[in-house]
């Protein structure tokens, strides 16, 4: 009797959840999710996680297909495809969004976040949301921030222990004025270039170096073409998951809700996964033959002192002083 009762209850529960999945308003959709890193990277793993979540939440109606290795284009090309409605979803650095909403450059100001916890709190809080909301007027909708991570420097010329060691190094930076100004300030020869062209540029010697989190240095196999790694952690770099507003506006309320839910789940997955990968990456890079240096706090402080030029230049543009002030206020609250 007891067993029969239990199986009835389980039966009803299963029927109930199936019915609610069917009652929800989901259209069959093919959704293209583009990203710049290799399929075998923290970015690729999180895109696959998101695709699975969306499959479940839509009762199998949504087929989210990941396109890695910039196969749908560089970050700026994908942003334009989203705006035009030719692509549904992408993830990329907030730094590459400055051509659309220049305020995003605020995250690139050197040595702003002290640790991941600060970054999570600010990005997931009202400051991060307000900045994200500015994308809507430009034809994109921001869903969540993922972690790219603290950026470090690699090059093929020499070990970097102090700022002067960067002198004259042709260093690829993202297409973002804060990065260009920051590395010019360090004495490097900053060359803006899309990530999709970076490996070849390093391989052919078009540039001598680049800067990215250790997870990316590993997954992009930069150790094959770079000898030296300096752990500078000069910027905490967020990724942002964005969708086409044109496409988003045609979704049902149920679809929008599920999209946000899957995005939040993917964020939690991605940060955990990236941090685990990051903890192992330095050892892997050593084994691959990279020579690793850690500039002292004094030397990092000297580098930081030169970045006031980049910061002031950013803050001098319309609306930016306000954004910088707001971010500093958020950080001050956390550090009390």
For residue 274, give both structure tokens.
Answer: 């990236």
User: Considering only residues 46-75, where is the footprint of ligand TK8 by CB under 6 A?
Assistant: 75
Q: Which of 51, 81, 140, 174 binds ligand TK8 (CB under 6 A)?
A: 174
> What phi and psi values does residue 193 have, to the nearest 5 degrees?
-155, 145
Nearer to ligand TK8, 62 or 145 (CB): 145
With beta carbons less than 8 A apart as the criterion, state whether 242 and 118 touch.
no
In residues, how long is the chain?
336
Q: Is 93 among the residues that bind ligand TK8 (CB under 6 A)?
A: yes
User: Considering only residues 248-267, where is the footprint of ligand TK8 by CB under 6 A?
Assistant: none
Q: Is 79 among the residues that bind ligand TK8 (CB under 6 A)?
A: no
With beta carbons less than 8 A apart as the criterion, state whether 172 and 201 touch.
yes
Mutual angle of helices 126-133 and 320-335, in 10-degree steps? 160
With beta carbons less than 8 A apart as the criterion, state whether 322 and 130 touch.
no
With beta carbons less than 8 A apart as the criterion, state whether 87 and 242 touch.
no
For residue 232, give both structure tokens.
Answer: 């500078």
Residue whose tokens read 């330095």: 282
Nearer to ligand TK8, 216 or 274 (CB): 216
For residue 173, give both structure tokens.
Answer: 């930076």
Q: Is 37 among the residues that bind ligand TK8 (CB under 6 A)?
A: yes
β-strand partners of 191 = 172
Q: Is 237 among the residues that bind ligand TK8 (CB under 6 A)?
A: yes
CA 196 to chain centre: 15
Q: Is 92 among the residues that bind ligand TK8 (CB under 6 A)?
A: yes
What minimum distance in Å lies between the beta carbon of 70 and ligand TK8?
Answer: 6
Q: Is 96 among the residues that bind ligand TK8 (CB under 6 A)?
A: yes
Q: Is 119 among the residues that bind ligand TK8 (CB under 6 A)?
A: no
Q: Which of 148, 176, 266, 307 binds ligand TK8 (CB under 6 A)?
A: 148
Residue whose tokens read 């070990």: 159
Output the CA–CA distances (angstroms, integers) from residue 191 to 105, 151, 207, 320, in the order listed: 17, 17, 8, 24
User: Considering only residues 187-216, where is the footprint of ligand TK8 by CB under 6 A?
Assistant: 195, 212, 216
What minimum distance in Å lies between the beta carbon of 104 and ligand TK8?
Answer: 12
What minimum distance in Å lies between the beta carbon of 105 and ligand TK8?
Answer: 14
With beta carbons less than 8 A apart as the criterion, state whether 319 and 103 touch.
yes
Nearer to ligand TK8, 102 or 154 (CB): 154
Nearer to ligand TK8, 195 or 269 (CB): 195
Q: Which of 32, 33, 34, 36 binds ligand TK8 (CB under 6 A)?
A: 36
User: Which stretch in 88-96, 99-107, 246-254, 314-322 sits in contact with ligand TK8 by CB under 6 A?
Assistant: 88-96
User: Which stretch in 45-53, 92-100, 102-110, 180-188 sits in contact with ligand TK8 by CB under 6 A?
Assistant: 92-100
Q: Is 100 among the residues that bind ligand TK8 (CB under 6 A)?
A: no
What minimum distance in Å lies between the beta carbon of 198 and ligand TK8?
Answer: 7
Nearer to ligand TK8, 87 or 148 (CB): 148
Q: How far apart, in whole angstroms, are the C-alpha atoms of residue 245 and residue 106?
A: 23
- Candidates 291, 24, 263, 304; CA nearest to 156 is 291
Q: How far apart, in whole angstroms, are the C-alpha atoms of residue 16 and residue 5?
A: 16
Give the nearest residue (CB) to ligand TK8: 36
For residue 323, give both structure tokens.
Answer: 């954004």
Q: Which residues bind ligand TK8 (CB under 6 A)?
A: 36-37, 75, 92-93, 96, 148, 174, 195, 212, 216, 237
């Amino acid at each position: 009797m007891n067993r029969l009762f239990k199986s009835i209850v389980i039966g009803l529960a299963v029927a109930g959840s199936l019915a609610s999945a069917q009652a929800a308003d989901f259209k069959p959709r093919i959704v293209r999710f583009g990203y710049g890193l290799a399929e075998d990277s923290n970015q690729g793993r999180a895109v696959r996680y998101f695709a699975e979540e969306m499959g479940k939440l839509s009762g199998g109606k949504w087929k989210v297909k990941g396109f890695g290795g910039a196969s749908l284009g560089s970050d700026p090309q994908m942003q334009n495809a989203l705006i035009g409605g030719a692509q549904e979803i992408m993830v990329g650095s907030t730094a590459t969004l400055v051509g659309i909403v220049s305020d995003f450059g605020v995250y690139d100001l050197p040595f702003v976040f002290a640790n991941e916890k600060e970054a999570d709190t600010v990005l997931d809080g009202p400051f991060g949301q307000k900045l994200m909301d500015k994308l809507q007027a430009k034809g994109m909708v921001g869903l969540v921030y993922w972690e790219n991570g603290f950026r470090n420097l690699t090059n093929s010329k020499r070990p970097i222990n102090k700022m002067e060691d960067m002198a004259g190094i042709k260093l690829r930076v993202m297409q973002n004025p804060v990065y260009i100004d920051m590395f010019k300030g360090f004495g490097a020869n900053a060359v803006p270039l899309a990530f999709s062209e970076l490996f070849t540029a390093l391989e052919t010697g078009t540039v001598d170096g680049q800067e990215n989190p250790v997870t990316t240095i590993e997954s992009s196999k930069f150790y094959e073409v770079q000898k030296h790694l300096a752990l500078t952690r000069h910027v905490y770099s967020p990724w942002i998951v964005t969708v086409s507003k044109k496409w988003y506006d045609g979704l049902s309320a149920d679809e929008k809700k599920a999209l946000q839910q899957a995005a939040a789940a993917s964020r939690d997955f991605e940060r955990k996964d990236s941090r685990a990968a990051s903890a192992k990456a330095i050892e892997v890079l050593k084994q691959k033959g990279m020579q690793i240096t850690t500039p002292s706090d004094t030397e990092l402080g000297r580098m930081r002192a030169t970045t006031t030029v980049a910061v002031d230049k950013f803050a001098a543009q319309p609306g930016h002083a306000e954004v910088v002030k707001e971010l500093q206020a958020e950080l001050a609250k956390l550090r009390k």
